[in-house]
Amino acid sequence: MHPTPQVILTASRIEMSDFNVNPFIAFSGGFPTGLFPLPVARKLLYPLDSSDSMEAKLAPYGLRKIEAILAEELGEENVKAVYPHKLKEAIGPETKVIGISTMDPLGLGFVSRTYSSLANLGEPLTKAEFRKLIAEVNRVRGPAKVIVGGSGAWQIPAAKAQDQLRIDTVIVGEAEAEAAAIFKAAIKGEKLPKVVNARKPKIEEIPCIKKPALYGVVEITRGCGRGCQFCSPTMRTRYSFPLKKVLAEAKVNAKGGSRMLILQTEDIFLYKCKPGFIPNRDALRDLIKAVASVDEAEYMQVAHASLPPAAYDPKAVEEIAPHLVEKSRWKLNGRKVASVEVGVETGSVKLVKKYMKGKPLPYPPEEWPKVVIKAIEVYNDNDICPLATILVGLPGEKPKDVADTLRLIEDMKGMKIFYVPLLFTAEKDCMLSSKRSAELEDLTELHWALFSECWSHNIRMWTGAGAPVLKAGVLIAYILYYKWRYGTRILHPMAKMANLPKLTYSSYEKKIRRLISARTGIAAS
């Protein structure tokens, strides 16, 4: 019998799946278990590798980084990333540490808080799966120590849940500089700190992954620097990784069986950008062409982009778009398109000045609405349909701010864009961490109109007039649940969202237009 590894690395089932090679469907992890019971979700949304392998074929990118560090320190045979349902098989007498990566262990992330609250049909899938994982870890761990890290690790000490979950150490922040010392201390049986607020790693401390990551993730930049106060990546040191390192990781992923390569970045235009956030067109072109040439990968996807660079330098978009569209997984109306996540966040110049002054650079905050419209036009002209987040309930948000956002959405009518409105969440590692998170109960009539407008647009764009089943589902949901929780004020927004006959919400729409006009001082179109 072979010795068991000293270190076992894992994550919850939902974080060990590639959602059938669909990173956008991964947003469904924030949906409640009442909407998708775990057996259904596991089968339809996030199935695992169907082979009987104990070791994970693909694992979260952050887990692969820690695995690479520990393999260098302890030897590859002493570190294994395994599927959560194979923990009992993987753990043995030589196992000293179980490391867990998590993005949203307690369902406190933006998407989970928003859409689980809206449905109110049980806990988020991410929370349910993490709870299942921890229960299994504690059942089979023996004397092994449990160390938890990842972008959502902050939630555990914030909720004072560490002792209840029997977690020895939580690493908050980027773990590359701290992981080796903490894991080696655990192996030696030394006393461990309960919480480690990790120092920021130097670029030379960030290793290449040695085994393939889920979605074929390859980090091309880290950090941002625009200074948005609601966002944690802006707190990190900004790096652009050398093209040689990017390609090395891309090849590890592609040769290891990943059908997709995701370029992980807070903004593709940050890659070797010039001062003032001016895009480096040559570096971008070389990067995208080089990654697109990795033949073993079927798809290529950019994680995030920002809007001002597209408005400022449309040529930069034109030069990379053909490669992104050619290797895209997505189609709209039968035509291949690329997509990328962008942050619209608000149409309020006041809120931009207050919380995200650097977001419009190289433009001034006053031009933000125009920059958004121009950028989306540039993306659409190049067959890129962005997924755009909208923040609801920023601290100090007033009705005029919501009206300004509704006005901006109205001005973008007909554009190819998918909106994701999200409740503001005060994450621990952002500048607004001490502020109160927005709650569903805080939503005003204009907020409901904003949710309705966003999802009405999404449904029209992706299903035409709206699927009959969807229309029926919205009506049933209103009668059986939403009417009793939110009252009749939710009827007309839901009718519009489902694209029911306009007669059912025309008076409501006129009322909202009057409210927007009154708040913005601009006559309704």
Task: Please say whether the beta carbons of 298 and 259 come within 8 A.
Answer: yes
Query: CA triplet 141, 145, 150: central angle to 5 degrees?
Result: 105
* Fold of the domain built from segment(s) 212-520: pyruvate-formate lyase- activating enzyme (3.80.30)
Give the Cα separation of 152 and 62 in Å (integer). Answer: 12
Say if strands 260-264 and 217-219 run parallel, antiparallel, or are unpaired: parallel
Quick one: which H or E segment has residue 134?
A: helix 125-140
Question: If 0-12 CB within 10 Å is exposed, 13-18 middle and 19+ buried, where does residue 121 land?
Answer: middle
Give the Cα separation of 279 and 277 in Å (integer). Answer: 6
For the residues of 211-267, what is the DSSP string, one character each? SPBGGGEEE-EE---S--TT-SGGGSPPEE--HHHHHHHHHHHHHTT-SEEEEE-S-
Crossing angle of helices 281-292 and 314-326, in 10° steps, is 0
3-state DSSP: the chain helix, strand, coil percent, rounded to 5? Answer: 45, 15, 40
Say if strands 335-337 and 260-264 run parallel, antiparallel, or are unpaired: unpaired
Burial 292-328 (b: 16+ CB within 10 A, else e): bebeebebbbbbbbbbbbbbbbbebbebbbebbbebb
Three-class DSSP category at 300: strand
Residue 524 token pair: 């309704």
- The alpha-helical segments, DSSP class H, found in 313-444 are 314-326, 349-355, 368-381, 399-411
Residue 10 token pair: 């894992």
Query: 388 has which bridge partners?
Result: 342, 419
Query: 392 has which bridge partners?
Result: 423
For the residues of 407-419, what is the DSSP string, one character each? HHHHHTTTS--EE
Give the Cα separation of 272 and 418 in Å (integer). Answer: 28
First to last CA, the chain: 75
Residue 20 token pair: 């059938």
Instruction: Name residues whose C-beta falls within 8 Å of residue 160's C-beta, 6 or more positions apart in sequence.
Output: none
Task: Please say whether the beta carbons of 390 and 346 come within 8 A.
Answer: yes
pLDDT at 304: 96
Distance of CA 429 to the CA centre of its chain: 16
Task: Please say whether the beta carbons of 423 and 392 come within 8 A.
Answer: yes
Q: Where do the CATH 3.80.30.20 domains begin and end in the chain?
A: 212-520
Per-block average pLDDT, block size 10, for the chain (525 residues)?
Answer: 85 95 89 89 89 89 97 95 95 95 93 80 92 97 96 94 97 94 96 94 94 97 88 80 97 95 96 94 96 93 97 97 96 91 96 94 96 98 96 93 95 94 84 85 88 86 64 64 67 72 69 78 64
- Tell me the backbone φ, ψ of residue 340, rounded to 5 degrees: -160, 145
Say if strands 418-423 and 387-392 run parallel, antiparallel, or are unpaired: parallel
Residue 270 CA neighbour count, 13 Å, CB half = 26
Per-residue 3-state assignment (H helix, E strand, C coil) for 158-201 = HCCCHHHHCCCEEEECCCCCCHHHHHHHHHCCCCCCCEEECCCC
Residue 308 token pair: 């001002």
Neighbours of 441 (CB within 10 A): 7
Neighbours of 237 (CB within 10 A): 12
Residue whose C-alpha is closest to residue 41's, from 59, 28, 53: 28
pLDDT at 525: 55
Instruction: Name residues whose C-beta falls within 8 Å of residue 507's C-beta, 6 or more positions apart in sequence.
Output: 492
Instruction: Name residues whose C-beta falls within 8 Å of residue 52's C-beta, 6 or more positions apart in sequence.
Output: none
Task: Please say whether the beta carbons of 96 and 240 come within 8 A.
Answer: no
- Tell me, yes or no, if the pTM score tops 0.85: yes
Say if strands 330-332 and 335-337 run parallel, antiparallel, or are unpaired: antiparallel
Instruction: Name residues whose C-beta falls within 8 Å of residue 53's C-beta, 6 or more positions apart in sequence.
Output: 83, 86
Distance of CA 109 to the CA centre of its chain: 9
